[in-house]
Structure 1
Amino acid sequence: MSALFVKSIKFLIGGAFVVALFLALWTTVAGMINEPAAETAAEEFHLKPEHLALQSDGPFGTFDEQQVQRGFQVYKEVCAACHSLSLVSFRELEGIGYTEAQVKAIATGWTTPQPTFDPKTGDRGERPNTPADRFPHVYYPGQGSPPDLSLIAKAREGGASYIHALLTGYQAQPAELLEKFPDAKTPEGLHYNPYFANLNLAMPAPLTSEGQVQYLDGTRATVDQMSKDVSAFLVWTAEPTLEKRHAVGFATILFLIALLFLTFGAYRSVWAGVKH
C-alpha cells in the first residue's frame, strides 16, 4: 500500500509539472499572438554596411602594402590616442613593407613609452619602445580602456565593411525616427550612427574632414579614403599571416590534386592485369 501511495504521488507531481509547462507555453504563445513585440528604433533604423572591396578579399587575396601603410598612418595620427593595438608588436610592421630601420624609428618615436617596474626598489618608470615591444596599452584612469582594435575586424560582424561604414556613418538623427520614437532621441554626450547596434555611441566621429592626415605617398586623404585605408590596416592587424595562410592553402590544394592523380594512376597500374 505504501509503495502504491508513493507511486501515485510521483505521477501526480509529474502530471502537475507537465501541466505547468503547458500553461506557461500557452501563455507565452498567446501573448505573442495577441500582443506582438513592440518595434524599437534600433530594429527599424539600424543599417547593414555595404561590402567594402579590399585586395585582401577572397582565397587568393593579398595585402595592398601602400594602402595598409596609409591605414597605419591614420591609426597612428587619429586612433592611437584612444585605442590600443596590444596584440601587435612593432616589428610585425615589416610585414607591410617597412624596413627594419623604419620599424625601429616608429617604435622609439611612439608617443607612449613602455612602463617599467624595478622589483628591487619598487620604482616605476618608462623606457622607449623597441621593435620587440607590442603597441602600448591605452588606459584612462577611472574610465577603463576603449575597445582594443587588434582583432576588431574579426570581432565585429562585417569586418572591414562594418568599420568603414561606422567611420563614415555619423549623421543627425532622422526626423522620421524622432516622430515615430520620441523617446529615442540621442542622449547628451552620445552620437547618432545607424551602423552601430543601438544607434548611439560615445565615440565622436574620428574622421571629420579631408586632409586630416597628410598621406606620405600623396594620396588624396578624403574621409572615405582614410576610412577604407584604416579598415584595410585593421584587417591586417587581425590576421597578419593572411597571405602566408592563403599561399599554404593553395599549395596544399595543388598537392592534394597531384596526389589524387598519382593515386589513381597507381591504382590503374596495380589492378591493370586483374580480370573482373
Structure 2
Amino acid sequence: MPRIIASLVGAAFVFVLAIALFGTAKTAIQDPAPESAEHVFHLHPENIHLPSNGFFGKFDNQQLQRGFQVYKEVCSACHSLKYVAFRDLTKIGYSEPEVKAIANQWVIEQPNINPETGEPATRKNVPSDHFPSPFANEIAARAANNNALPPDLSLMTKAREDGSNYIHALLTGYRAQPAALVKEFPGSKTPQGLHYNPYFANLNIAMPPPLTSDGQVTYSDGTKATKDQMARDVAAFLTWTAEPNLNARHAAGVAAGIFLLIFCFLAWGAYQNVWRDVKH
C-alpha cells in the first residue's frame, strides 16, 4: 500500500510539473519577451588568434612583456593584480635583477608598520611581494572612480566568457552611441558619466577608454604601439596571469598523447604476438 501511494504522489508531481512546463513554453511562444537594447546592440568579440590558443599553443614572452608594459603604464593606475607576485615575471623572460628593479621602482609601495613607533608606513616592494593595489580600500577605489569599483585583473580572462578576445574587444570597442539605439529604445541613452561600449554586458561602462591613442606606450622592443596592438598584448598578458602554467599543461598534454599512441601500438603488437598461432 505505501508503494502505491508513493507512486501516485510521484505521478501527480510529474503531471503538475508537465502542465507548468507546457504553460511556460506556450506563453514563451505566444507572447515572447520584447527584445532589449542589450540583446539587439550587444556585439560578440572576434577571435584575435593569440599564440597561446589551441592545443599546441604557447605564450610569446616578447608579447607578454609588451602586455605587462601596457598594464604597468596604463591599467595599474586603477586595477590590481593581487594574485601575481613580482617574481612571477621571471616566467615571462625577465631576469632576476630586472624583477628586483621593477619591484623596487613600482609606484605603489607595500603597506607596513613602523617597528619603532607602531604607526602605519610603507616600504619598497621586493620580488616576493604581490602587486599592490592602487587604492587603500574599496571606499577609496569607488571615490576615485565615480563610485565604480575597478575589478582585479589577475583572473579576468577566466572570469569573462571568451576572456582574451573579450579583453581586446572591450579595450578597442569604445564608440559613440548609435542613433538607431536611442531611436529604437528611447530610454537607453548612455547615462552621464558612463561610456558606450557594445562589448560590455549592458552597453554602458563606467571605465573611460584606457587606450586613447596610438603610441600611448613606447615599446622597448620597437613594436609599433597601435591601440589594437596594445589591446592584443595586454589581453595576452592577462591570459598568462590567469593561467601561468599553460605552456606546461599543453606540453604535458602532448606528452600524454604521444604516450597513449605508443601504448596502443605496443598493445596491438602484444595482441598479435599472443594470438599469432591461433587459427580463425
Counterpart position of 1:214: 218
Question: Which residue of structure 1 aligns with residue 4 of structure 2?
Answer: none
SS of the residue corresponding to residue 150 of structure 1 reads coil
Match of 2:229 in 1: 225
Aligned residue in 2 for 1:257: 261
- Say which of 33, 36, 40 aligns to 2:32: 36
- The equivalent of 2:239 in structure 1 is 235
Distance 1:275 1:120, change over 3 A: farther
Q: Which moved more, 1:260-269 or 1:106-115?
A: 260-269
Q: Mind listing any 5+ residue stretches in structure 2 that lack a counterpart?
A: 1-7, 143-147
Residue 57 of structure 2 corresponds to which residue in structure 1?
61
Q: Secondary structure at the match of 2:111?
A: strand
User: What's the TM-score, normalizing by structure 2?
Assistant: 0.85
- Per the TM alignment, residue 53 of structure 1 is displaced from its structure 2 partner at its CA by 1.0
- Tell me the amino acid that sits aligned with residue 64 of structure 2: V
1:24 deviation in Å? 5.8
Aligned 8 A contact 1:71 1:231 in 2 = yes
Moved more, 121-130 or 156-165: 121-130
Partner Cα separation in structure 2 for residue 145 and residue 130 of structure 1? 27
* CA shift for structure 1 position 141: 4.6
Q: Identity of aligned pairs, percent?
A: 59
**Superposition pairs of residues 159-170 of structure 1, within 5 angstroms:** 159-170=163-174
SS at match of 1:50: coil
Question: Is residue 70 from structure 1 mapped to residue 91 from structure 2 by the alignment?
Answer: no
Deviates further, 67-76 or 144-153: 144-153
Larger radius of gyration: 1
**1:138–1:145 contact (8 Å) kept in structure 2:** no
Assess if the C-alpha contact under 8 Å between 1:85 and 1:149 holds in 2: yes
In structure 2, distance between residues paired with 1:19 and 1:267: 54
Q: Structure 1: which amino acid aligns with 2:91?
A: G
**199-208 or 245-254, larger mean C-alpha shift:** 245-254
Question: Does residue 85 in structure 1 map to residue 89 in structure 2?
Answer: no
- Two-structure CA RMSD over aligned residues (Å): 2.7
SS for the counterpart of 1:116 is strand
Any stretches of 5+ residues in structure 1 without a counterpart?
A: 1-10
The equivalent residue for 1:45 is 41
1:146 Cα deviation from its structure 2 partner: 1.5
**Would you say 1:106 and 2:110 are equivalent positions?**
no
SS of alignment partner, residue 208 of structure 1 = coil
CA separation of 1:64 and 1:22: change in aligned 2, threshold 3 A: closer
